[in-house]
Every structure is written in structure tokens, then in C-alpha cells.
Amino acid sequence: MKYITPLLLILICFGCNDTTKKNAEDVAYFGGEIINPTDEFVMLYYKGKLVDSLKLDEKNRFLAKLKNHQNGLYKFSHNREHQYINIEKGDSLLLRLNTYAFDESLSFTGKGAEKNTFYIELFLLNEKHERPVYQYSQLNSDDFLQKIDSLQHIKLNKQKKFLIGNPTVSSDFKDFTDKVIQYYDYEYRETYQNMFNKRRLKDSTLTIKDSFSEYKKGVNMNDSTMSYYTPYTRYIMRFINNASYSECMKKSWKKDRKVNTSLTYNKNKLALIDSLVTYPYLRNELLRYTAYSYYSDNTLDTAKNNEFFKLYQNVATDEESKEEISNLHTGIKNLQTGNKFSNTIYVYDETHNRILMNRLSSDRGKTILYFWTSKQLRHKQSITMKIKALAESYPNLNIVGISLDTDHKYWKKAVEELDFKESKQYRVGDKESLLKDFALIDINKLIIIDQSGHFVNAFASIFNNDLKEQLK
């Protein structure tokens, strides 16, 4: 990476005396270059908390000096993409990536590059193995285990080669990669269990050996060193999902009823997390994921939603997450068919005026609200194309675009690029209102309103098969 200045190299690598050398060993540097950036910042996190917000310069480069930092696993994010890195005292880690292939293009130089390069290779190898694992899930359990054992050996051999070539790597990093390899193997088993459950609904004669699940007894459900690592969290969530499904099946669940969208299934998940997961951060993240999963599939039955919400509030302990889910619950309740937007909900127009949402309906015909953000360029382009097609099919349709961008100048420029004169465009005031005002979980969400301002369907989607029928 040619952009590292000679001064920085001297500062990091040499030092002019023992004191400077000691000081250099007490700090770490993290920087790099983002090609085709989709945001102005790179965010750095440690254990779920923001360490630094790093602004890209005119050459799309950034650099941070970390003092008194903790060694270990960090997460950096750029817009909606993220990846994990290991930073230890004395490291001078520099990355380079292209957002068009975020993980695949990621490369490192500087002190600490070797271990992070190895981790990314391991990560990409796990991604490569996902498809064959799904294919292997059609096999019997013995043959499946044999197949995934061979996948694990590939990773273990790669790790062994890395450790031989890098004998001074820290024991913490070695332990981390051990767990990465192990938990991916565990997740493959949970994937098999999930696929087996679906297959058994169609063929009740299928069986799985009791010994297949023996490994679960050794799983650490409260690993504090891994709780901030998404693949581990995803594995624990899948473990909970399968256990909840098994609980439903023990109660002679009727085949014609959906399982994983039901209140019973999600109540089981809350109870399992409450009883099995004690580490606060992991516990509350799993409860939060469960709430989002439940509400994304359940928007119409207010009585059941109230029951779920009460149970969630009883087991959750993180006040910020509880408020977030409370806002979502309130939003869903307020957006029921036949209701209207309240007089407290507003958006901003191009002249920075606050516009009440209940004034955006039209006497001419139905109104459709859709959402977009300039930070998701592909979605912005695809949703605009789909809504333009609806505008042509329904000339009396009142189209309102609501942007999630909060920077006014940035938003106005993005609106000009839309080239969509048939629509009215507004932006939100703050992102905190998205759940309470719009119950926005999925950015493909649409809100359909009649001529009098009442909700026809506040939980539609651009991908609904019956969308055109609802717009007639």
C-alpha cells in the first residue's frame, strides 16, 4: 500500500529511542483505503460499542491511532457491510477493499496482516462450504457427518499450516480461530436438523440417530469471547430455533399449521433464551432478534402481539432494546387497517418544512408510500424502477417516496438523481421514528392509504403477489 507515508512508517516500525519504541508498542494503528465507497465513514467497534468513527479523506483513505485499547476481536463497518479483524498492541494494520466485492477484495498489509489475512481466508472458506452443506443435508445423518468432517479437516489443515508459519501469533487469536472452525461445524449440524424437520413434515418415516445431537451437551451458550461475533450468535439462534421447534412437535402440532411464525414457537424461544443464556449482551441480542423475527411475520393479531410483547418485556433486561421493541410494537398497533396517521407524525419536504403524514393522501385515488435511502444504491434503483412501473399502470395513484436520509443537502441531491417526477418526495426527521411511526423492519415495505387517509394495508411489500389487486 503505497499511501503509507514515510513518517508513519518510521513512527510505527522504528522509533528513535527506547521510550519511543515502548510507546509504539502500547498503541496500535488501523487504517486503509475503500474503493467505490458508499458512505463517508468507516466505523470501528469493540464488544458492540463504537470505538471510533473514521472519516474518509479525499482519496477515500482513513487512519486511526488506538491508545489504551483492548487486544482482540474488533468489527469495522462501512455503510451496511461489516467484517471482523484482530487488533493487538503494536499492530499497524492497513486494509484495502472494493465495496463491489467487500469480503472477496479485502486484503491487509502492515504488522498484524498475516493473522487477519488467515481469518478472511477462513471466513471465505466457510462461505464456500455453505452450498455443499445444504446439498449434504439431503443425506442420512451418518453420511452427512462424514461429509462435514471432511470440510472441517480442510480448515484444520489450513490453520495448522498458518500456525507453523506464524509461531508467535497470540494464544487468544489461536483460540478464536479454533472456535470459528468449531462453531461453523456446529452450525452445519443445526442446518441439517432444520432441513430434516422440513423433510419429515412430508415423510414421517424419516429418522435421525439420537447420537447426532450429542455434541449439544458441550456447547457453551454463554461464551463471552464470542458473543460479539455474528456467526456465533447466528449459531446459538439456530440452536434455539431447532429446540423451540422440537418443543412444538412434542405437543402434537397439526401439520396444516405454520410452526416458526406461530406465537407458541416464539414463546418457546423466549423461554429457552431466558433459561439457557445468561451473558447479558448475547441474551438481549437473541431476545431482540426473536422479537424482530416474530413481528416481521405477525402484524394483524393485536391480542397475540400484546401477549408476545408482555413476555418479551418480562425477560429482556437491556433498556435500550426494550424501548426499541416497544416502539415497534406500538407502530404495528397504530398501523392497523382502518386507522390513520396521528397528528404527531411528520416528514420534511425539500424546503425543510415539516409536513404531517395525515395530509399526504389524495382525493384523486389511493396513496402508496414507499421507502428508500441513498446509502443502498442498488435498492434505490430497483425500488424506483418498480414504483415507476406502478405509476404507469395506475395513473391516479398518489405516489409518495420517503427517504431514510437525514442529511438535507445530501437527500436533495439524491432526489434529483431519482428522475421520478410522478412522485412526491420527503425525508424522515430522525431514524428513531422509523419503528414507532412506520414499523419499518423491511425497506421493501409499502403503506397503502385510501382517499380519506385510512390504511388499506400498512404492511404491504413491493413483492406482494396481490399488490396490483390492492391498488385497484
Please write the tens of the pLDDT for every residue from 163-199: 999 999 999 999 999 999 999 999 999 999 999 988 8
Q: What's residue 24's pLDDT?
A: 54
Cα 416 to Cα 380: distance, rounded to the nearest angstrom: 13
Q: What number is the average pLDDT over the span 450-456?
A: 95
Q: What number is the average pLDDT over the span 102-112?
A: 96
Q: What is the pLDDT of residues 197-231, one digit of tens each?
A: 888 888 888 888 888 888 888 899 999 999 999 99
The cell for 5 is: 507515508
Q: What is the pLDDT of residues 87-103, one digit of tens each?
A: 999 999 999 999 999 99
Cα 191 to Cα 195: distance, rounded to the nearest angstrom: 6
Q: Which of 82-86, 203-207, 303-307 has the lowest mean pLDDT?
A: 203-207
Evaluate whether 206 touches 200 at the Cβ level (below 8 Å): yes
Which residues are bridge partners to 348 per DSSP? 354, 427
Q: What's residue 207's pLDDT?
A: 87
The cell for 81 is: 457491510
Q: Which of 114-123, 127-136, 220-229, 405-414 has the lowest mean pLDDT?
A: 405-414
Q: What number is the average pLDDT over the span 58-74?
A: 93
Q: What's residue 430's pLDDT?
A: 85
3 state DSSP class of 390: helix
The DSSP H or E segment spanning 106 is none
Q: How is the beta sheet containing 41-46 ordered, strand by strand?
A: 49-55, 41-46, 72-78, 81-87
Cα 95 to Cα 107: distance, rounded to the nearest angstrom: 6
State percent of the chain over pLDDT 70.
94
Residue 363 has pLDDT above 80, yes or no: yes
> What does 27-81 look like in DSSP terms, one character per residue?
EEEEEEEEES-SSSEEEEEETTEEEEEEE--TTSEEEEEEESPPPEEEEEEETTE
Domain boundaries, the chain: 6-101, 117-334, 346-471
pLDDT tier for residue 2 given thresholds of 50, 70 and 90: very low
> What does 328-381 look like in DSSP terms, one character per residue?
HHHHHHHTSTT----TT-EEE-TTS-EEEGGG---SSS-EEEEEE-TTSHHHHH
Residue 255 has phi, psi (to 5 degrees) of -65, -25
Q: What's residue 93's pLDDT?
A: 97
Q: Which of 12-21, 269-278, 365-374 has the lowest mean pLDDT?
A: 12-21
Cα 233 to Cα 181: distance, rounded to the nearest angstrom: 14
Please indicate whether residue 75 or residue 255 has the higher confidence score (pLDDT).
75
pLDDT tier for residue 158 given thresholds of 50, 70 and 90: very high
Evaluate whether 148 touches 128 at the Cβ level (below 8 Å): no
| Residue 77: half-sphere exposure toward Cβ, Cα within 13 Å | 14
Please state which CATH class domain 346-471 belongs to: alpha beta
State percent of the chain over pLDDT 90.
77
**What is the CATH code for 6-101?**
2.60.40.10
pLDDT tier for residue 370 given thresholds of 50, 70 and 90: very high
Angle at 303 between CA 302 and CA 307, to 5 degrees: 115
Q: What is the pLDDT of residues 235-273, one digit of tens each?
A: 999 999 999 998 888 876 666 578 889 999 999 999 999
Cα 74 to Cα 18: distance, rounded to the nearest angstrom: 29
Q: What's residue 200's pLDDT?
A: 84
Q: What number is the average pLDDT over the span 448-457?
A: 95
Predicted TM-score (pTM) of the model is: 0.89
Q: Which of 164-173, 240-249, 276-285, 448-457 has the lowest mean pLDDT?
A: 240-249
Q: What's residue 5's pLDDT?
A: 46
Q: What's residue 217's pLDDT?
A: 86
pLDDT tier for residue 23 given thresholds of 50, 70 and 90: low
Q: Among positive and negative, which fits the CA dihedral 64, 69, 70, 71?
A: positive
Q: Average pLDDT over the chain, rounded to whole?
A: 91
Evaluate whether 388 touches 444 at the Cβ level (below 8 Å): no
